[in-house]
Amino acid sequence: MYRKKNSTSLFILILVLLISCDPLTSPKNEPPFLFNVFPPDGSSNVPTDVKITAGFSEKIDMSTLKKGFVMKSENSDEPLILKKAIDSESSDSIAMVPKKPLEHNTSYICELNENITDLEGKPLHNPVKWSFTTTEAIDTTIADTTAPKVISVTPEDGDTGITVDPNKINIQLEFNEPIIATDNSSFLLNHWDGGLPEDISIEVEINDNVATITPSDSLKYNTEYDVGVGPSLSDLNGNTYDKTKYWSFTTKKNPNLWRLPENFIATQVTTLNSDDKVYISAWKYKHQTWLGENSYGMKSFFLVMDKNGKIELKKEIGSSYGGDIDPKENRLENKVMSPKLNHLYFYNQFVGFYRINTKGEEIWRSGYINRKIKKDSEGNIYSLEKYFINKLDPGGNLLDKMKAGSYVIKDLGFFGDNIVTFGYYNNIATLGKAPKEMDGFFDGTIKFPKYSDGKIIDKDDVVYMISEKMDTLTLYEINEDSLLVKWNKSINLDNIVKKTQDTEGNLYFIQETNSQCKLIKISQDATKQYEINLGKRPEPNLVLWYLPQRIHNTIYIPWGREIFRFDAQNGRKLGRYND
């Protein structure tokens, strides 16, 4: 309720005029009179949203209010701008609204002057000034005693495949209000290592209600991380975070697992019975120009991966080749071998044959070319060297050397006390036999026209023969005196570029058709077990074809930089990355 402090002469004058003048008899040329104003002069505790009104004796020209109404604050000499004036249709009163809201606890002086006219242009007869004071501000705020809350997190709880790069990762907490933190201890980032949490060094940036956490170093691949915020965090009113919140995310798998470094080409893969490592032979190449033509320089390497495909060792071994290499020739050869998975051997076509340890260190070296090797029960090594078989003792010393006829030897096996060889000459496949002591001649009289390749399986004393057209498989059973045909079956195996076998008698082929490659498994009864798409042959094409190796229940295929792995039973891809 407004309180009036005193009466003014204005209202006495108006009262006298009302008594002495009868409007019905007043001359028509009288000027307009001001009857009243609101709020009254001297009022206090006036609301800041009050409507300022004035009552006149007749209708006035609304356009004259722009100069005829002046309102100032006690704190400023600048008049308030009139936002609008409202003319009452039922009476001759006017409401005036300033453009800016009134301030609390402030005195205002209002003036209605002679610039105000009626509709005929006659000026206001009784200009007037008056004042009023607005009410004091009432504190309507309620004390904030509520702790801040987390309303969203990034990454979301349970997200996977998050980058490990600290410059790219986006770890954020969004709160329901602005927050402050005295130091980084309000936030934490950790992962569990050996049953204990390992805290990660972080930097925290707070922008209003969003906290951004940045790790100081790269995170680990394929690792679950916990993010937490604790009670040392508070809002602007000092309300601390009332609990510790955790959520987790998992980083992406390492894209470099089961993968060699840039400019490396894997050539062969093997393992040992004594550990769970994977041993790889590879070339490192460097593109160069030789006499104006593209060429490659090559270095021979031995690499070791752990069971998850992470490289543990990378060692140059054997010989490098810096000459002009035509990628179409594919004649460069180095390979790591482990007959019976007991010891490691390394072959490099420019230097020879090594026995090495698991660190790639040379134990002994033989100068003989040993592209394929097998061991007998005494540990003696039998190796192939085109037309010859070399017999080495376990120390790498040459015990004997025998020429196996005029055909190129492709494979050999042990059957009883004999060595059986497979070779071919002019597309005629030949099987030969000789004692292990190599004191007799190889019998190469059993010939198979139009067969160009084959594999010998020691386990069941059998030989697979592959025809010249690569579309017929023939399985022969070996006995002491003769070779008996076990089955002969035509199967679509065109464009076979590489083949191998496992100890169970299964064959594995790599087939290339229209630049696309497949892995095909054929069982002993000539049944196709499965075929797997491998994609396009890796580039650059600098080495001999990639040989599949079945080791225990896994098939390994060196494929350029990659090591492909498959379940040998069902062909399920284990992938190049960590499973």
Instruction: Let me know whether 126 and 182 are in one domain.
Output: no
pLDDT, mean of residues 322-327: 51
CATH number of the domain that residue 393 is part of: 2.130.10.10
Q: Which position has the higher pLDDT, 402 or 471? A: 402
Beta bridge partners of 485: 476
pLDDT at 279: 95
Q: Are residues 45 and 161 in the same domain?
A: no
Q: How confident is the model at residue 400 (pLDDT cuts 50, 70, 90)?
A: confident
Q: Is 225 within the bounds of a domain? A: yes
Round the average pLDDT of the chain to a whole number and report it.
79
Q: What pLDDT was estimated at residue 214?
A: 93
Residue 388 located in a structural domain: yes
Lowest mean pLDDT among 338-342, 410-414, 418-422, 449-453: 449-453
Rounded Cα–Cα distance for residues 205 and 148 (Å)? 17
Residue 461's pLDDT is what?
Answer: 59
Residue 249 reports pLDDT greater than 90: yes
Residue 97 lies in a domain: yes
Judge whether 284 lies within some domain: no
Question: What percent of the chain is predicted at pLDDT more than 90?
Answer: 22
Q: Where does a domain end: 251, 267, 295?
A: 251
- Per the CB < 8 A criterion, the answer to whether 119 and 145 are in contact is no
Asked whether residue 130 falls in the same domain as residue 204, the answer is no
pLDDT at position 405 is 64
- What does the alpha-carbon distance between residue 554 and residue 565 come to, in Å, rounded to a whole number? 7
Same-domain check for residues 128 and 15 = yes
Residue 345 lies in a domain: no
Residue 183 and residue 158 share a domain: yes
- Residue ending a domain, among 217, 251, 285, is 251
- What was the pLDDT predicted at 285? 84
pLDDT exceeds 90 at position 312: yes
| pLDDT band at residue 180 using 50, 70 and 90 as cut-offs | confident
Q: Please list, residue by residue across 366-400, b when 16 or more beta carbons sit within 10 angstroms of its beta carbon and e when fewer do.
A: bebbbbbbbbeeeeebbbbbeeebbbbeeebeeee
- Residues 92 and 179 grouped into a single domain: no
Q: Is the pLDDT of residue 305 over 90?
A: yes
Q: Is residue 23 a part of any domain in this protein?
A: yes
According to the model, what pLDDT value does residue 24 have? 38
**Cβ neighbourhood burial of 257 (10 Å; 0-12, 13-18, 19+):** buried
Q: How far apart are CA 461 and CA 441, in angstroms?
A: 20
Q: Is the pLDDT of residue 501 over 80?
A: no
Q: List the domain range (segments joined by +) for residue 230.
A: 150-251
pLDDT above 70 covers what percent of the chain?
Answer: 75
pLDDT at 110: 93
Q: Is 99 in the same domain as 194? A: no
Scan for tokens 């007869």, then name that residue.
125
pLDDT at 485: 61
The pLDDT of 420-434, averaged and rounded, is 74
Is 169 found in the same domain as 70? no
State residue 552's pLDDT score.
Answer: 86
Half-sphere exposure in the Cβ direction for 395 (13 Å, CA): 2
Query: Of 251, 280, 310, which residue sits at a domain end?
Result: 251
Mean pLDDT, residues 181-189 taken together = 77
Domain match, 93 and 186 both: no
Give dist(CA 496, CA 341) in Å, integer: 27
Q: What is the DSSP letter of 65?
A: H
- Which pLDDT value is given to residue 573? 85
pLDDT digits (tens, 9 = 90+) for 76-124: 888 888 888 888 776 688 888 888 889 999 999 999 999 999 999 999 9
* pLDDT > 90? residue 219: yes
Q: How far apart are CA 382 and CA 391, in angstroms?
A: 5
Domain count, the chain: 3
Q: What is the mean pLDDT of residues 256-271?
A: 89
Across 34-38, 219-223, 412-416, least confident range: 412-416
Which pLDDT tens digit goes with each residue over 360-372?
999 998 876 666 7
Q: What is the average per-residue pLDDT within 510-533?
A: 84
- 29 or 19: which leads in pLDDT: 29
Please, are residues 112 and 124 in contact by the beta-carbon 8 Å criterion?
yes
DSSP-derived secondary structure for 374-389 = EE-TTS-EEEEETTEE
| Count of alpha carbons within 13 angstroms of residue 352, beta-carbon side | 10
Q: What is the CATH number of the domain that holds 89?
A: 2.60.40.1220
Give me the phi and psi of 218, to 5 degrees please.
Answer: -65, 145
553 located within any domain: no
Confidence class of residue 290 from pLDDT cuts 50, 70 and 90?
A: low
What's the confidence (pLDDT) of residue 375?
A: 84
What is the average per-residue pLDDT within 214-219?
92
Is residue 561 assigned to a domain?
A: no
pLDDT of residue 11: 42
Residue 278 has pLDDT above 70, yes or no: yes
Per-residue pLDDT band at 162 (split at 50, 70, 90): very high
Among 223-232, 412-421, 434-443, 499-508, top mean pLDDT goes to 223-232
88 in the same domain as 13: yes
For residue 280, give both structure tokens.
């790889």
The pLDDT, as a whole number, for residue 294 is 64
Residues 126 and 158 both lie in one domain: no
**What is the average per-residue pLDDT within 123-150?**
85
The more confident residue out of 347 and 249 is: 249
Amino acid 318: pLDDT = 73
Q: Looking at the structure, do residues 16 and 83 belong to the same domain, yes or no?
A: yes
